Each structure stands twice: as structure tokens, then as C-alpha cells.
Amino acid sequence: MQSFEINKADLERIHQALAGDDAELKTVLEDYHASEIAIIFEKLTQEERERIINVLPVDEASDVISEMDEEHHPEDILFKLDPEKRSDIIEELDYDDATDIISQLEEHEQHEILKDVDEEDATEIRSLLNYDEDTAGGLMNTDIIKVNIHMDKKQALDEIIHQSEEMEEFYTIYVVDDRDTLKGILSIKDVIKSRVDAHVADLVKTDHIYVKADMDQEDVAKLFSQYNLNSIPVVDDYMRLLGRITVDDIIDVMEEENTEDILKISGVSEDEELSGNWQDAIKSRLPWLIINLGTAFMAASVIRGFDSTLAKLSIISAYMTIIAGMGGNAATQALAVTVRRISLNDLNDKQARETVLKEFLVGMINGACNGVIVFCVALFYDQNPMLGVVLFLAMTGNLIIAGLTGASIPLLLKRVGIDPAVASSIIITTFTDCFGFFLPLYLASKLLL
């Protein structure tokens, strides 16, 4: 099955249905999955979205709202709904999804929404709102199935059946003691296949992965990837079971973190929404461009220091831009690989040294290969072998510098507690531009004049 993409025919069909009565609109919407409706919402006005949510049954309306991207503000739709419909939707949502949406509202708006919600649901959501949204506590769902370690097989099965009535799906059964302390995990298969007189204590697996509520969501995602998990329990500092995180939540986290890293490396603030307006884009990007302008002046100052060399050998200026540009490209490659390695797994000292050494060798070999090409071009067009030597050395040197800075700068920034994806590209561009101009000019002044 192919992924859904909005096309003109779908939009026209939805708009025609919106022009009709609710019955016609509801009939048309039945042909679309909740996630597809959420995608269609990207092309609709706020009023049209609210109309569709009001027409849909509560269970499907909750699915659509939970599938919406954060940047399309599902919280605004939810807040403007009739209080009764709004409460029904919130009570239908998983606690973690409801919390994610409600957390985007102002505090007084959160209070207004939750006062109409079932007290048990409201209490669970309020407790989740206390956690930072980028932590395990902010990701977790408090809907879990747990059994006491002192139960026998029959008691455990009865408890599992009772607790699962309100849950759509579950991956793991958690075992706790009388104080709700996590003791391990239990497989439903093991419970069913066990002897009639078996006890939970005999079946529990105590060797299991868990996370603390304050763990960063990126570290949680690494655990899911490393151990191929479907879910993971969340505990407090006293090992009391708080909730669970499931793999569907982690997929969203990985997408969010990857997008964040790409934007940071490009010098774009993570606060800029991909579908945001031009004012937000300017506000996000202009500060970084001004910083880049400052580093460009630094590179220009290098050229000013070699006015006499340029006056006597103007041909070198044509090659300087090539050498600087190639250094920038090579540095970006090394930076992307290094930042990705850091994000996937913090590098120890040995791995960091190996990474820098590898990029040094790659830069030297790539620089030499490109340097030979530039040498041949200079020899063919300018009939000047010595100019070719200068360009060969400058190209090789700048790509070595590109590899070294592309690998070492993000590692150093990480070591001092600065996000390497944010600041690395600015520093590295400064190095490759400055040396891209300095090396050919300096070598030319020494070897050609």
C-alpha cells in the first residue's frame, strides 16, 4: 500500500462535501483513514477543520487530532470545540496523546478543558503535564497492565483480562510488588503456557530494560533501537512504575530529532515550523546569516593581506573560490557524519580519535585527488607548472583542514556542553573559507613571486 498524498481530486471532493450538509460530508469522509484526513487538514482552513471534527464520530475525531502534526496546532481545534464533544474526544485519546496536545495550550486554557473531563482522566493528564515534553515522562502513557508478584496464574489472568478491557493493545505485562515497585516483566504467552499452579514470581523476567522519567527522549529512542523493543517501562527514582513508552511514540521522536538535527546543521532554528510563514522564517534565519556575514568579513580580511600578490598574479583569484568552495563541501560531509555518529552514540575518547584520524586521511586523499585535477587544469590553460603545484598544495591542505575541523569541532563542542549541530557549521565555514583563501595566496607569494 502506498503512502497517502494530497491531490487535487481529493481536495475538490472534500471542498464539495464541505459545501453540502453534514450527512454528505460524513459519507465522503468514510472513504478516508484518520491519518489521511489529518494530511488533508494541511490544505484546509481552521473553520473547515472544525466542521469535519464535529461531523466525525468521537473515536475517529480523536484519531484525526492525534495524527495531526504539532505545527498544524491540533490544540486550537480541540479548544474551540463544544465542551461536551471536546471532553469526549479527550477521554477517547490515549493519555500521552491527550497530554501532548493539551500541553500546547495556555495554563488557563488547560484548566478550562480539564474541568469538564472525567476526574480520573483529568488526574492522569495533569500528572503527565508535570513532566518535560522531551523526557521519558513526557512521552509515557499511564495506561498499563500490571500484576502483583504474589498472584497465582488464575489471579494474574483475571487481572490481565480486567485491565485490558479499556486498552486497544498492549505489548508487555509489568510485575510490581505491594508498593508498586517494578519487579520485572511478564509474557502473556508464558502465563498461558504455564502450569495451573504456577505463580507470577516463577514466571517474571527480572532482567529487563527500564528508563527513569527524566531521561531525555533521544536516549530513550537509542534504547529502543539498541534492544529492538516494542515498549519500555518508566519508573521514578524509587523504581515505582509510572507508565510505559511504546514504539509508535519513538517513531515520532526519531522523526522529530532527525528534523531538528538537519535544521540545526543548516543554521535554522528548531523553533521554525516547516510550514510556517515568512515572518517566522526571517526571525529564525536572520541571526545566523548575520553571524555568517561576520565570518565572511574575516575571510575577506585574509585577501586584503595579500593585495600585492593579487595585483601581480590576478589569475590566482579565480582558483581561490574553487579551493574555498571545495573545502566547505568536504567539511560539510565530515560534519554530517560526525554529528550523526554523536547523535546515535556518544563517542568515547578512542572512538573520537579514530573519527578525527579517519577524516584526516579522507581529507588528505580527496584533497590530493582534486589537487591533481586542478594542477592539470592550470597546466593546460595557464601553461604554468608552478601555479599547478601551488594549487595542488592549497587544495590538499584545505581539504585536510576541512576533514579535521569537520570531525574535531563537533566533538569539542560536545565535550564542553554545546550542541554540535548548532554551532559547528559556522565555525567550520570560517576555517575552510579563511584557509581556502590564505593557502593559495600565501603559497603563491612564496613560490611564484
Q: How many residues does the chain have?
A: 449
Identity (one letter) of the amino acid at 282? I
Q: What are phi and psi of 73, to 5 degrees?
A: 55, 65
| 64 and 19 share one domain | yes
**Mapping DSSP to helix (H, G, I), strand (E, B) and coil, where does residue 216 land?**
strand
Domain that holds residue 182: 146-246
Compute the distance between CA of residue 132 and CA of residue 71 in angstroms, rounded to an integer. 18
Does one domain contain both 301 and 339?
Answer: yes
pLDDT of the residue at 1: 44
* 88: Cβ contacts below 8 Å, ≥ 6 apart: 58
Number of structural domains the chain divides into: 3
pLDDT at 187: 87
Domain-located, residue 339: yes
Question: Could you state, in chain order, the average pLDDT of each consecutive group of 10 residues for the chain (449 residues)?
Answer: 70 90 91 90 89 93 90 89 92 90 92 91 92 91 93 93 82 92 92 91 92 92 88 94 90 75 62 62 77 84 88 89 93 88 78 93 96 94 92 96 94 84 79 93 91
Give pLDDT, residue 274: 54
Structural domain includes residue 256: no
Ramachandran assignment for 239, one of left (phi > 0), alpha (psi -120 to 50 degrees), beta (any other): left
Do 124 and 164 belong together in one domain?
Answer: no
For residue 386, give the amino acid letter.
M
Which of 130, 165, 188 lies at the terminal end of a domain, its last residue? Answer: 130
Q: Check if the beta carbon of residue 196 is closer than 8 Å to that of residue 121.
A: no
User: Does 107 share its domain with 205?
Assistant: no
Amino acid present at 249: D
| Domain boundary pick from 226, 246, 266 | 246
| pLDDT for residue 182 | 96
- Same-domain status, 168 and 119: no
DSSP one-letter code for 306: T
150 and 117 in a common domain: no
What is the pLDDT at residue 293?
Answer: 86
Instruction: List the CATH number of the domain containing 390.
Output: 1.10.357.20
Using CA atoms, how far apart are residues 449 and 444, in angstroms rounded to an integer?
A: 7
The HSE-up count of residue 394 (CA atoms within 13 Å, CB side) is 34
* Residue for grid cell 552514540: 345
Do both 153 and 125 map to the same domain?
A: no
Residue 254 lies in a domain: no
Please tell me whether residues 233 and 282 are part of one structural domain: no
The answer on 158 and 126 residing in a single domain is no
Identify whether residues 167 and 224 lie together within a single domain.
yes
| Domain end position, chosen among 201, 223, 246 | 246
Let me know whether 314 and 363 are in one domain: yes
Let me know: does 141 contact 241? Beta carbons within 8 Å: no
